Structures are given as C-alpha cells and as structure tokens.
C-alpha cells in the first residue's frame, strides 16, 4: 500500500529569559520565579493550525524541540518550521539538516513574516501571512513538485472560517498551559511591536460559538487545562468580550489573557472575568515615564493612559484578577533611574507578576529603522539574542550591559521572599474579601430560594 506523505511540523528551541549567565542563574535559583515559567510555557499554536489545514491524506507529526530532540533521520517528505526571531538561528540549522537529506523545508511564523527574504535563503519556501491564506496553495504546489520560493497572503483571512487547530498533535506532550486564539491583531501600533507589524490593519475575530467549541475540546483533551488566550488584546470589542465571558462561565476553566489597561473601567467585564475563571491578565504598561510613553504608539494611547495605571491595577486586582505588568526599558528617554522608578511602581501597586524586557529592535519595526539609521544596532549579536531580555542595541543613556543588569535588578527586587510575603498578604486580603462576598451571596440565594439579579 502506498504510504502517506509525511509532514513534520517543528518548533525550534527557544530560550526563555535572557541568555546571559546571570539571567540563567536567576531563573534556575529563584523559587518565586518558577511560577512564571510554569504559567507562560506553551506550544507553537501556528503549527497546529497548519496541521488543521493539511488534508487527512498526510501523516502529520508535531515536534517541539523544547521538549524533545529532532531526529533528522526520521522519515519525512516535507518539513514546516515556525519561529520567532530568537528561534531563527536554530530554524536555519534545522532547515540545513533536512535539506542536506533531500527533504524540502518551508517556514512561516513571526520571523518569516518580518524578514522573508532572509528566511528564503535558508528554506525552499517561505510563507508570509496567515497560514489559512497560503498553506493550501503551498501544499498543492508541493504535490506537483513545484514549490515556489515565497507564498504571500493577498487577502485577509476571515477568522470566522479559520479551522480549529489540531490540538491532538500536541496532546501527547505535557504543557502546563494551552493556547487558544480568539482574535488576531491589536488596535495599538507600538513602535517596537513586531506582532502589530504582522497583523497591520487586520483585527479579526473567531465567532464566540467557535471559541467555546475549542475551549470545550481543549477541556476534553487535557485534564484541567489552564488556558492562555493568545490574543494580542483580549478586550478590544467589549460586547463580544462580554458574550464570550458569559459563555465561558459554565465551562469551569482557569485562564489568563493579554490586553491593554482600559477594561478596568468596565465593572461587568471585571466581574465576568473573575466568575469565568480569569486568574491573571498580562497588561502592556510598557513604561511608567510620561516622556517614554509620549509617542510610543501611533495614537499616543498609552501616554494618555499612564495617569490611570495605578487606579486600574487596584481595581482589576480587587476583582481577584492578578495583573502581570509588561514593561519595556531602554528607550531613548530611559535613564539609569528608570529601573528604580519602574521597580517602585511595581512594588507600590503589588503587581502580581512582571515581564520586564529590554526594548528590542525587531526587523520591520519603526524602532529598528531609527536605530539602524543611527548605527546603534549591535550587528554582532545573533538572532538568538533577540530574546527581549538581552540588549541587542546601543541604548542612548546607558550601556547594553547596564540595560540588561537593570532589568534583571527589577526581577530581583520583585521575585524574592521579602516582597513575595508582602504581596501574598495583599492578595490574601483581596481573596478573603471575595470569598466572603461569595459566601454571603450564596447564603442570600439559599435563604431567598431564588437567584439574586
């Protein structure tokens, strides 16, 4: 019997956190930091979408090199790679190994979208755009042995028609969190954001029915999954968000998402988030300096939002939702004092978790154009240093080393026993309050024999 063509979907090794010895030592030794790693590790969702777009006439295998090694001698007819910029060097090594064995290799994902012509030199075909728009044509050409060097998306993907990712491909492996996508794109165009470049003017949504079907499937496939909604901004369309949260409530999941700070003004959404099992929201504060935020995004939205950061954090966390604050340091208005100012803000507001990164001039971003024009890109730094925790450019008011050390100092200030104890007391008081309220509400319902509206 004729064997099915074999497609390998490979996610190359990535370094979580900075590559410096100090970063890695901190990651290894700090007990309080382990939660972060645990919560934010997941599979390469794009490859599972490619899997879903591949007909059943193919034998498809998903390999996550962060979990298992790649066997280059494994039978394969086609290899598809994905990766962020920090994975690019490894992506090229994997491509070279398979191509030397005569196996065609194609690549997509964030880095391929940012630098398609560079990626094209290392693979047989590069995919630019969303998988739904290019993969069927690529597969057709592969079957005709006529792969083109580049497949570029020409029309927007209708997310309502997007297939459900083939979650079963990743099911055998242990992932602490499962990514589910409900939308793509973000209304804010921050100067350093590579994701926004990718989905420029393409804010697309899956239908709520489809999202619920996916969550139910994930819940059935993984026991007690912790779901991470991968949307760049989970709360853009408030009416849709409300409907989605209402529908998530009875599913009994725990989840986290990412957004800007604006939803703190919406009590309905806050309550629905808590009731539907939201544990944390990653919020892109970026900076606590008005100078730095001024001009950081096209509409100056974050600059105007700065005055709300403290109130917003308090309101969100008082609803039992931990705020994971994302901060970016090293922009031209940042000085050595910025680290201390950021740390003060984080601690004064008892932020639940942090992601403090060195601003990174990703290819294709306006930030990189400016820095390249000024000769400030450190050309000797490989793509694998583009972790967002390693400094890959010459900052204006400090050395690259000082930038790396400054961001790591904020982590040390935050993830230690003394501050964790303070934070624990803070959150315990919040939860005690919430649990008491819930108990009272349940008591009142039981006493009245009907549901209180």
183 binds another protein (CB under 8 A): no
Q: Which is nearer to another protein, 209 or 438 (CB)?
A: 438
Of the candidate residues 121, 213, 220, 252, the single one contacting another protein (CB under 8 A):
252
Q: Smallest distance from the beta carbon of 280 to another protein, in angstroms?
A: 6
- Count of positions on this chain that bind another protein (CB under 8 A): 29
435 binds another protein (CB under 8 A): yes
Q: Give residue 65's region: left, alpha or beta (phi > 0; psi -120 to 50).
A: alpha
Q: Smallest distance from the beta carbon of 35 to another protein, in angstroms?
A: 5
Whether residue 86 contacts residue 357, with contact meaning beta carbons closer than 8 Å, is answered with: no
Q: Smallest distance from the beta carbon of 282 to another protein, in angstroms?
A: 13
Sign of the Cα torsion 362, 363, 368, 371 reads: positive
Nearest residue to 389 via CA among 336, 282, 66, 381: 381
Q: Smallest distance from the beta carbon of 92 to another protein, in angstroms?
A: 35
431 binds another protein (CB under 8 A): yes
Of the candidate residues 101, 424, 437, 443, the single one contacting another protein (CB under 8 A):
424
437 binds another protein (CB under 8 A): no
Q: Which is nearer to another protein, 25 or 417 (CB)?
A: 417
Q: Give residue 252's region: left, alpha or beta (phi > 0; psi -120 to 50).
A: left
Q: Smallest distance from the beta carbon of 353 to another protein, in angstroms?
A: 8
Burial class (CB in 10 A: 0-12, 13-18, 19+), 123: buried
121 binds another protein (CB under 8 A): no
Q: Distance between alpha carbon 183 and the CA centroid of its chain, in Å?
A: 13
Whether residue 142 contacts residue 127, with contact meaning beta carbons closer than 8 Å, is answered with: no
171 binds another protein (CB under 8 A): no
* Positions 26 through 55 that interact with another protein (CB under 8 A): 34-35, 38-39
Q: Which residue has the tokens 């340091």?
A: 329
Burial class (CB in 10 A: 0-12, 13-18, 19+), 107: buried
Q: Which is nearer to another protein, 32 or 65 (CB)?
A: 32
* Positions 320 through 339 that interact with another protein (CB under 8 A): 320, 322
Backbone angles phi, psi at 24, to 5 degrees: -65, -35
Q: Give residue 451's region: left, alpha or beta (phi > 0; psi -120 to 50).
A: beta
442 binds another protein (CB under 8 A): no
Cα distance between residue 424 and residue 32, in whole Å: 11
Cα distance between residue 125 and residue 448, in whole Å: 66
Q: E strands along 260-416, which residues?
A: 278-286, 322-329, 353-358
Q: Which is nearer to another protein, 435 or 445 (CB)?
A: 435
Binding mask 198-227 for another protein (x = CB under 8 A): -------------------------xx-x-
Q: Smallest distance from the beta carbon of 432 to another protein, in angstroms?
A: 5
Binding site for another protein (CB under 8 A): 34-35, 38-39, 176, 223-224, 226, 252-254, 279-280, 320, 322, 352-353, 417, 420-421, 424-425, 427-428, 430-432, 435, 439
């Amino acid at each position: 019997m004729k064997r099915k063509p074999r497609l390998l979907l490979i996610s190359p090794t990535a370094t979580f956190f900075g590559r410096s010895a100090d970063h890695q030592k901190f990651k290894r030794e700090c007990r309080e930091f382990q939660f972060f790693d645990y919560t934010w590790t997941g599979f390469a969702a794009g490859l599972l979408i490619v899997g879903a777009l591949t007909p059943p006439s193919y034998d498809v295998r998903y390999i996550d090199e962060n979990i298992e090694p790649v066997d280059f001698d494994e039978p394969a007819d086609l290899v598809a790679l994905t990766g962020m910029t920090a994975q690019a060097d490894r992506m090229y090594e994997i491509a070279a190994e398979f191509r030397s064995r005569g196996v065609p290799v194609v690549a997509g994902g964030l880095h391929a979208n940012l630098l398609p012509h560079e990626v094209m030199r290392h693979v047989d075909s590069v995919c630019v755009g969303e998988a739904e728009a290019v993969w069927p044509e690529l597969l057709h050409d592969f079957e005709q042995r006529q792969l083109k060097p580049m497949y570029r998306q020409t029309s927007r993907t209708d997310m309502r028609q997007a297939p459900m990712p083939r979650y079963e491909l990743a099911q055998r492996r242990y992932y602490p969190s499962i990514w589910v996508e409900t939308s793509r794109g973000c209304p804010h165009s921050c100067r350093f954001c590579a994701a926004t470049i990718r989905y420029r003017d393409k804010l697309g949504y899956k239908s709520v029915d489809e999202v619920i079907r996916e969550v139910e499937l994930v819940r059935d496939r993984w026991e007690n999954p912790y779901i991470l909604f991968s949307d760049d901004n989970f709360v853009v369309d408030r009416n849709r968000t409300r409907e989605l949260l209402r529908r998530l409530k009875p599913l009994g999941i725990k989840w986290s998402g990412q957004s800007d700070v604006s939803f703190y003004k919406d009590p309905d959404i806050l309550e629905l988030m808590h009731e539907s099992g939201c544990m944390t929201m990653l919020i892109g504060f970026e900076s606590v300096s008005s100078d730095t935020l001024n001009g950081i995004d096209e509409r100056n939205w974050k600059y105007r939002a700065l005055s709300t950061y403290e109130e917003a954090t308090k309101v969100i966390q008082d609803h039992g939702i931990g705020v994971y604050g994302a901060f970016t340091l090293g922009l031209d208005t940042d000085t050595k004092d910025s680290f201390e100012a950021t740390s003060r803000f984080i601690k004064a507001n008892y932020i639940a978790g942090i992601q403090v990164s060195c601003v990174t001039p990703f290819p294709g971003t306006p930030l990189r154009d400016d820095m390249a024009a000024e000769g400030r890109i450190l050309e000797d730094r490989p793509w694998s240093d583009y972790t967002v925790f390693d400094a890959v450019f010459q900052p204006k008011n400090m050395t690259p080393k000082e930038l790396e050390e400054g961001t790591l100092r904020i982590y040390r200030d935050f993830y230690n026993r003394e501050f964790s104890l303070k934070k624990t007391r803070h959150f315990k008081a919040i939860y005690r309050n919430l649990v008491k309220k819930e108990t009272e509400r349940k008591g009142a319902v039981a006493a009245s024999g009907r549901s209180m509206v």
